[in-house]
Copies of this chain bind each other. A is one copy, B any other.
Amino acid sequence: MSDKVHCFISQKGELLPRWQEAFPQAVACGLESKVSHGSTPPLAWAHLPTGVAGAQVLDAIRKRLGDVPIVVLSDQPTDEEALSCFAAGARGYCNTHATAELLRRVADVVLQGGLWIGESLMQRLLQGTARIPMPAPVGAPSDWAALLTEREREVALAVAEGASNKEVARRLSITERTVKAHAGAIFEKLGVRDRLQLSLVVHGRQRR
């Protein structure tokens, strides 16, 4: 578990006892408060009182703290509210009155890149998606894909979707250096100058 200071963000900057028990050095901060932090916390907890829109709160937090993982604490958790929060980029969602131990576990999971999501919600998500017709394939594959090795195609698709080299590296479990090596080879094979032009070719908006 990170030793850095967590940040609990709520309407009036209150810090519940069990939050404090979970993270004794956590700081609290009101949404309307103009006080800012010296540094970005490793994790932000967004307390949602009943009736407050999660997406709105998450946007406000992002504007304050930048791209920080956010776990939502809800007074009255519902799948609908959870959906809205995850759609707005939350990494976890649980009950405001969860035990200190559970909060620490949630923090561990999210800090390591996982998600904390209810099982019933996950099943709903899966049910909802199973009925969606799969998206049409990008550009005729034979146009650009045929020129690349399998790994290069994976890198090309990830880059064309807007991922940075670091993100592609994480996704494919290789180093950023390897991503650059593949990208360079892809640029040369497809005769493009950079990743934006690669994206145009992959999506069929530019001829090679």
**A residues apposed to B, CB below 8 Å:** 55, 76, 80, 83-84, 86-87, 92, 94-95, 97-99, 102, 105-106, 108-110, 112-118, 120, 122, 124-132, 134, 150, 161-162, 171-173, 193-197, 199-200, 203, 205-206
Note all chain B residues with C-beta closer than 8 A to A117.
Answer: 115
Write out the residue numbers on chain B whose beta carbons fall within 8 Å of the beta carbon of A94: 173
Q: How far is the CA of A106 from the CA of B110 in the complex (A)?
A: 11
Q: Which residues of B contact A86 (CB under 8 A)?
A: 122, 126
Contact B83 A126 (CB under 8 A): yes
User: In the complex, what residues of B have CB within 8 A of residue A131's CB?
Assistant: 80, 83, 128
Inter-chain contacts of A129 with B (CB < 8 A): 83, 124-125, 127-129
Copies of this chain present in the complex amount to: 2
Known A114-B115, A206-B162: A173·B98 in contact at CB below 8 Å: yes
Min C-beta distance of A7 to chain B, whole Å: 20
B173 near A102: Cβ-Cβ < 8 Å: yes
